[in-house]
Amino acid sequence: MIKKHGTKTIIFLLLLIGTVALYQVDAGKKFGRFITVMKDISIKVLNGEPEQIVEISDDELAEVNVRQIASDLEGKKRGESEAEHTPAAPTKIPRDEIRAEERPTHTKTMIKEAKLIDLKDIPAKLKPLKKYMHEPFKMGACQICHIPKGDNPAALVKNNIHEICYECHKTKYTKEFDHKPVKDGQCTKCHDPHQSDTPKLLKGISVNDTCLKCHDKVNGAKGVTKFITMNGKYKHKPAEKSCLECHDPHTSNYKTLMKKEVGLEFCLDCHSSIKDHKDMRKWINSAKYKHGAVDDSKGKCLECHDPHSSNHPNILKKDSVQVCLECHNKSLKSKEDGGTMMNIAQHLKENPNWHKPIKEADSKDGGCNACHDAHGSDNFSILKKSFTKNFYADLENKDFFCFKCHKETKITERFTTNSDVTKFRDGDINLHYLHVNDKKGRSCRACHDEHASKNKHLIRDYTDFNSIKFPLRFIDGPNGGSCAPACHKKFEYDRSTPKGIGQKDSK
């Protein structure tokens, strides 16, 4: 068969290779391009509307009849009465089509009477030229927007700038919430109509810079209601990257121009799959005890976190104690066991000696989150590790949660003269050992208040024993102290001259 049609086959193959080769080189490209453009033009002629976007190259753009476009606009303007400047009725465009509409097309339909200004001749104040140029500007088609009027050579063709913009940029931003400049037709608030070094012809050096020109907490513009700062020590990465990661700059159906409805899921969409970061969705959903701020609040994540930046670790709105006290400044009902959670703010106010993590809220191991898991936990009081609720706790079952920071030797060394181990000594007898490290050992909370106290060493005023409050009557001394709790009579201890506590038991 090959033998019989050998010559024909070879010729056909050669033709095929030739066509492919032509496509590879410029001639092929031009041919393809020609077909595309012709198709577009024919569609435009037939339907009056382009169906698909065709990118026009710079060379092609040079041939566009700008005068025609300008005179068209002028004609329309004359036709309208000057007083009525209501923007044209919004065209409802589905969300995903907006992007496509944002970049209008320039076609070769009317390329004849182009009166283009060479970019060399543009006014000096527009020089030097910048990286990104508005296409009419690039073309030197100043007439699209400007027309000399009286002594103003650069008067606008229409009084309202947005009407000029909407002439080509047909998308009207009319969702539930509009960005104020969009609503007011102040496109040039953010966009430079001529040129910019920033994509999208933004006036700022970046998207964020553009936004912050108005929305910065310190340098923001007057009349703006929503202020944020990106100058915090800790920044939300998407916010640092671009405001547009979460916001739509023009219009949105969600408050604060969010792309999606703000809620737990909005944040969790990212925060469940970030590398080297806990899967927050899993954490929040699987926690046995949930934090009301996460589970049952209006702002969800934003109750505590600033979505932009803050000077506090984990981009918290305030330091990691104050942020908690926003809610915990009153007695709250616990969902955990139906009990009442104490008014911590009041407790801290009344008791001047604070536990170190509370005192140094912004330090590495500081804040309420030193012990509590704000996102929920399997332990009561959303503690990071289980801690006994009881007065008594056997050593074997004793949780060493406190020993995350405090040294374990505090309770395990029976005799010591080292004040670094413990100062709660009578001579060399470790009174912590006596109290804690016994078969009827007591938990730390028997004597210490984990939050704050009026006394030194966070000694409680009252210890809770079977829901009765017994005073500890602790008195601090220069070299020891004394206690007269309900548990025993007044016992004194002294580190250098022992008073004889525990002598009998230890021998």
Partner 1 sequence: MRFTLMLSFIFSFSTLWGEVGAIKLITPIPSTIYHEETASVVVTFVSPLIDGVIISAESNQSSKIIRQKERNSYCKTVQLAPGENKITVSGFGKDGTIENISVLIFHDIVSEKIYKYPPEKYMEESFHTPTNERFCSSCHKMEVNEIPKIAFENPADSNCFQCHQKLTTRKYGHAPAINWLCTSCHEIKKELGDSKFTLPSMIGKTCLKCHDKESQKWETKRFHHMPVDSEKCTRCHNPHSSENKFYLKAKPWDICTSCHIDKREGKHVINTFGNKNHPTRDKPDPSRPGKEIECISCHNPHASDSASLIDAKSPMSICIKCHKK
Place of tokens 């102290």: 481
Closest to partner 1 by CB, 84 or 505: 505
For residue 312, the minimal CB distance to partner 1 (Å) is 38
For residue 486, the minimal CB distance to partner 1 (Å) is 4
- Let me know: does 114 contact 63? Beta carbons within 8 Å: yes
3-state SS assignment for residue 452? strand
β partners of residue 476? 481
- Can you give 358-418 as a three-state secondary structure string? HHCCCCCCCCHHHCECCCCECCHHHECCCCCCCCECCCCCCCCHHHHCCCCHHHHCCECCC
Closest to partner 1 by CB, 227 or 465: 465
For residue 245, the minimal CB distance to partner 1 (Å) is 55
Binding residues for partner 1, total number by CB under 8 A:
16
When asked if residue 491 is in the footprint of partner 1 (CB under 8 A), the reply is no
For partner 1, which residue of 470, 475, 482, 491 counts as binding (CB under 8 A)? 470
For partner 1, which residue of 339, 471, 477, 500 counts as binding (CB under 8 A)? 471
Closest to partner 1 by CB, 393 or 452: 393
Half-sphere CA count of 468, side-chain side, radius 13 A = 5
Closest to partner 1 by CB, 178 or 461: 461
For residue 345, the minimal CB distance to partner 1 (Å) is 22
How far does the chain reach from its first CA to its final CA, in angstroms?
Answer: 113
When asked if residue 489 is in the footprint of partner 1 (CB under 8 A), the reply is yes
Place of tokens 């601090």: 476
Residue 170, C-beta contacts closer than 8 angstroms, at least 6 positions apart: 91, 101, 104
For partner 1, which residue of 99, 131, 364, 507 counts as binding (CB under 8 A)? 507
For residue 233, the minimal CB distance to partner 1 (Å) is 45
Q: How far apart are CA 37 and CA 263, in angstroms?
A: 46
For residue 471, the minimal CB distance to partner 1 (Å) is 5
For residue 347, the minimal CB distance to partner 1 (Å) is 16
Closest to partner 1 by CB, 46 or 468: 468
For residue 298, the minimal CB distance to partner 1 (Å) is 36
When asked if residue 465 is in the footprint of partner 1 (CB under 8 A), the reply is yes
Instruction: Enumerate helices (H) and strands (E) in the chain, giving the number of each.
Output: 19, 17
Binding map of partner 1 across residues 383-422, x = CB under 8 A, - = no contact: ---------x------------------------------
When asked if residue 504 is in the footprint of partner 1 (CB under 8 A), the reply is yes
- Can you give 322-353 as a three-state secondary structure string? HHHHCCCCCCEECCCCCCEECCHHHHHHHCCE
Q: For 358, phi and psi rounded to 5 degrees?
A: -80, -40
Residue 190, C-beta contacts closer than 8 angstroms, at least 6 positions apart: 181, 202, 203, 204, 210, 249
Q: How far apart are CA 261 and CA 253, in angstroms?
A: 8
Identify the burial level of 84 via C-beta atoms within 10 angstroms of its C-beta, where 0-12 means exposed, 13-18 middle and 19 or more buried: exposed
Closest to partner 1 by CB, 286 or 390: 390
For residue 392, the minimal CB distance to partner 1 (Å) is 8
- Let me know: does 252 contact 175? Beta carbons within 8 Å: yes
When asked if residue 439 is in the footprint of partner 1 (CB under 8 A), the reply is no
Q: Which of residues 329-358 bind partner 1 (CB under 8 A)?
A: none
For partner 1, which residue of 487, 492, 498, 499 counts as binding (CB under 8 A)? 487
For partner 1, which residue of 473, 482, 491, 492 counts as binding (CB under 8 A)? 473
For residue 419, the minimal CB distance to partner 1 (Å) is 29
Q: How far apart are CA 310 and CA 293, in angstroms?
A: 19
The contact set with partner 1 (CB under 8 A) reads 392, 462, 465-471, 473, 486-487, 489, 504-505, 507
